[in-house]
Amino acid sequence: MSGAPESGKKLYEGKAKILYATDNPDVLLTHFKDDATAFNAQKKGSIRGKGEINNAISAHLFKLMETKGIPTHFVELPSPTQMLVKAVTIVPLEVVVRNLAAGSLCKQTGLELGSLVEPPLVEFYYKNDAMGDPLLTIDRIRLMKVASDEDVATLRSMALQINDVLKEFFNQCGITLVDFKLEFGRDRAGKIILADEISPDTCRLWIQGEPDPKKRVLDKDRFRQDMGNVEEGYQQVLDRVLNNPSA
């Protein structure tokens, strides 16, 4: 495929992306927005150029995953803010992997910001905005029949594999991967594959060697915590990702 396809019927609009149908039922068109939200959409704003930056970073990292044997929904980029993706049924669990303590983990456990989490912590959150995306235990996942034990094991295994790839890649970029959120979906054959995006919206990313706790932040925490220079942080991630000689 080439060129930017005409947007078909809008299927879904989320906080950061809009999903459209295409003339191929197995392929959908994702449009990345500049809109920004935090704290379950209680804080709203816009980050100039965010859609284009997140689209480019996500595409680059999805292609990296494919080279490592991790299946994704990525097809191609028809335009700077659009991504063609395989149609999937999203698994209603957000999978969070934590390498260092930050955000809600610090608030809920008292761990100091930046404390090493070893081995990496894998958490599951119910993907439901109305309920505030609550943290679920394995027993609650079983009770709610959100996913089977086999599915949970697959999600955990894939998340840890993705973590290994991303940690190494970002380390080569001079960036520490603090934590990140993943979403997965089932393709037409029922196979679980990586979906959604991987970007400064979904990852906490810190510049290595920067002692100032505010200046080191390159992700959406700049927006969440009113640190300023949000666009600059996102652009720096893109530059470092695209200039990684190992990519």
ω into 119 cis (within 30 of 0): yes
Confidence of residue 7 (pLDDT cuts 50, 70, 90): low
Confidence of residue 246 (pLDDT cuts 50, 70, 90): low
Confidence of residue 87 (pLDDT cuts 50, 70, 90): very high
Q: Quick one: what percent of the chain has pLDDT higher than 70?
A: 95
- In sequence order, which residues have a C-beta less than 8 Å from that of residue 90 and are 6 or more positions away? 127, 183, 184, 185, 195, 196
Predicted TM-score of the model (pTM): 0.93
Domain ranges of the chain: 10-87, 90-229
> For the domain 90-229, what is the CATH superfamily, name and number?
ATP-grasp fold, B domain (3.30.470.20)
Which pLDDT score is estimated for 59? Answer: 98
Residue 236 clears pLDDT 70, i.e. is over it: yes
Nearest CA to 127 out of 98, 176, 89 is that of 89
Which pLDDT score is estimated for 44? Answer: 85
DSSP H or E stretch at residue 59: helix 50-67
User: pLDDT by residue (tens digit) across 112-166?
Assistant: 999 999 999 999 999 998 999 999 999 999 999 999 999 999 999 999 999 999 9
User: pLDDT by residue (tens digit) across 27-51?
Assistant: 999 999 998 887 776 778 889 999 9
Please give the CATH topology (third level) of the domain spanning 10-87.
Phosphorylase Kinase; domain 1 (3.30.200)
Average pLDDT, the chain: 94
Question: From CA 138, how far away is CA 159, in angstroms rounded?
Answer: 16
Which pLDDT score is estimated for 3? Answer: 45
Q: How confident is the model over 168-188, as a mean pLDDT?
A: 97
User: pLDDT by residue (tens digit) across 216-226?
Assistant: 999 999 999 99
Question: From CA 219, how far away is CA 98, in angstroms rounded?
Answer: 15
